[in-house]
Amino acid sequence: MYDPKSMKADEFIDHGEIMETLAYADQHKKDAALIDSILEKAKLRKGLTHREASVLLACELEDKNQEIFKLAEQIKKDFYGNRIVMFAPLYLSNYCVNGCTYCPYHAKNKHIPRKKLTQDEIRAEVIALQDMGHKRLALEAGEHPTMNPIEYILESIETIYSIKHKNGAIRRVNVNIAATTVENYRKLKEAGIGTYILFQETYHRATYEQLHPTGPKSDYAYHTEAHDRAMQGGIDDVGLGVLFGLELYRYEFAGLLMHAEHLEAVFGVGPHTISVPRLCPADDIDPGEFDNGISDDIFAKIVACIRVSVPYTGMIISTRESPKVRERVLHLGVSQISGGSRTSVGGYVEPEKEEESSAQFDVSDRRTLDEVVRWLMEMDYIPSFCTACYREGRTGDRFMSLCKSGQISNCCLPNALMTLKEYLMDYAAPETRRIGEELIAKNMNDIPKEKVRKIVEERLDKIAYGERDFRF
């Protein structure tokens, strides 16, 4: 029985409800009157239900689809301005006991080199990341109770936060590790993590069980209820995602929104982020074997529909996508992107040769962070290295109320400009710096409060003279 407030996976992600939703969406995919009314509701910027959102995703009326895209762009601008938050993944270990059939880390893969970073190696990786200019990381690891126990993850987080190389610092560590216990989530919270991210992979239970034949991850309910346990453990910023390509995308989309509704219903705050990874080629993995791959056009529509359905949720895209696709979806709603990423264990210090790669997937966007930063600025986006919210205690519903109050432009814009200035001073190539300085000057006028603008001007001067880490 469908119940968004239930704590049971099968009840808040109810298969019957998804099937009915898909049938309803199919029935109304050319219903201009209904689609108009859903678009009117979406314009209020308070979100849509999974049913309404599914109708938009299924919509086959070309003019209405254009309206969806236009609205997504507008909502993106209103909530996130032209800021794009930058991050990089850090792979700690690819030892894994699970049998996920789409992932090269699966336990039966005997030819992938297995690696686990020592604390000294982590130090070296973090220095390499700091020297690129990164301030925010997403930690990644396979699931292995003895090789990668929670103590290893906690020690690694402590190491990462402790490293201050030149002007560098990692100020926010997000964590993407396997589903775990409330007690372990509490420990992660105490270690000072930002968002806990866990991808559902697929919301379709039968498919999930088929794709995860062995290992702890094969327990669908334990995995699906993980974000609830994370919230119970005190982590109030959690990230959702599905791996597109494994199941029919409309099913996944409905499941994803139901999951967001569940978090809102139970904890009063929806997901902090939604990631939209697509299945990629990788060692021992041929995406052709999975027959639910989606085109770039459908991918763009999914992003747009997520944007209009959950306006307060950040959207993340990784280097799984090419520069071209990334450019397209930035306009439609993506607010965080990775840059200069290496998906191999130890890859920032020592890039691996392809034939001996421990990488999790093949990266499509191979540009350096500086190239990505410049590319964003040439499109008038402000690359932001801001980590202020969580360090100021603005997490969970406090973050959401900042969004809802519209105060974001007095807070996030200044923080974005100040952290970009740090990047330009410490890491940028001369041409990147030139473009960046112009961009900062231009965007100063968009800070609404004069008092705040004055403070930002002073702080930008101080950054030029070597001071760091200002924030609102």
198 contacts ligand SAM (rule: CB under 6 A):
yes
> Minimum Å distance from CB 217 to ligand SAM?
5
- Comparing CB distances to ligand SAM, the nearer of 282 and 372 is 282
Binding range to ligand SAM, per CB under 6 A, among 33-41, 274-282, 363-371, 403-411: 274-282
The only residue of 67, 201, 225, 261 in contact with ligand SAM, by rule CB under 6 A: 201
> Minimum Å distance from CB 278 to ligand SAM?
7
225 contacts ligand SAM (rule: CB under 6 A):
no
- Comparing CB distances to ligand SAM, the nearer of 285 and 308 is 285
- Comparing CB distances to ligand SAM, the nearer of 142 and 270 is 142
- Comparing CB distances to ligand SAM, the nearer of 217 and 307 is 217
- Looking at residues 232 to 271 of the shown chain, list those that interact with ligand SAM (rule: CB under 6 A): 243
State the DSSP string of 32-87.
HHHHHHHHHHHHTTS---HHHHHHHHH---HHHHHHHHHHHHHHHHHHHTTEEEEE
360 contacts ligand SAM (rule: CB under 6 A):
yes
Query: Which residue type occupies 301?
Result: K
Q: Using the structure block, give the residue that is written with the tokens 């190539």.
A: 429
321 contacts ligand SAM (rule: CB under 6 A):
no
> Minimum Å distance from CB 7 to ligand SAM?
20
- Looking at residues 85 to 114 of the shown chain, list those that interact with ligand SAM (rule: CB under 6 A): 102-103
211 contacts ligand SAM (rule: CB under 6 A):
no
CA separation for the pair 400, 398 (Å, rounded): 5
Binding range to ligand SAM, per CB under 6 A, among 27-35, 136-144, 406-414, 427-435: 136-144
The SS3 call for residue 242 is strand
- Comparing CB distances to ligand SAM, the nearer of 244 and 427 is 244
Beta partners for residue 336, in sequence order: 85, 316
54 in Cβ contact with 253 (< 8 Å): yes
> Minimum Å distance from CB 279 to ligand SAM?
5
End-to-end CA distance of the chain: 45
Quick one: how many helices (H) and strands (E) in the chain?
A: 20, 9
Closest CA relative to residue 375, chosen from 421, 425, 337: 337
> Minimum Å distance from CB 10 to ligand SAM?
20
CA separation for the pair 91, 299 (Å, rounded): 26
- Looking at residues 139 to 178 of the shown chain, list those that interact with ligand SAM (rule: CB under 6 A): 140, 142-143, 176-178
CA separation for the pair 401, 394 (Å, rounded): 9
Q: Using the structure block, give the residue that is written with the tokens 């993980």.
A: 226
- What value, to the nearest 5°, has the Cα angle with vertex 335 and ends 321 and 153? 75
- 110: its two tokens: 């005997």
> Minimum Å distance from CB 362 to ligand SAM?
8
208 contacts ligand SAM (rule: CB under 6 A):
no
Helix (H) or strand (E) holding 22: helix 15-27
State the DSSP string of 280-338.
--BTTB-GGGSTT---HHHHHHHHHHHHHH-TTSEEEE-TTS-HHHHHHHHHHT--EEE
117 contacts ligand SAM (rule: CB under 6 A):
no
283 contacts ligand SAM (rule: CB under 6 A):
no
- Comparing CB distances to ligand SAM, the nearer of 153 and 258 is 153
Binding range to ligand SAM, per CB under 6 A, among 62-70, 273-281, 296-304, 383-391: 273-281
- Comparing CB distances to ligand SAM, the nearer of 79 and 249 is 249
Instruction: List contacts with ligand SAM (CB under 6 A).
Output: 102-103, 140, 142-143, 176-178, 198-199, 201, 217, 243, 277, 279-280, 282, 285, 320, 360-361
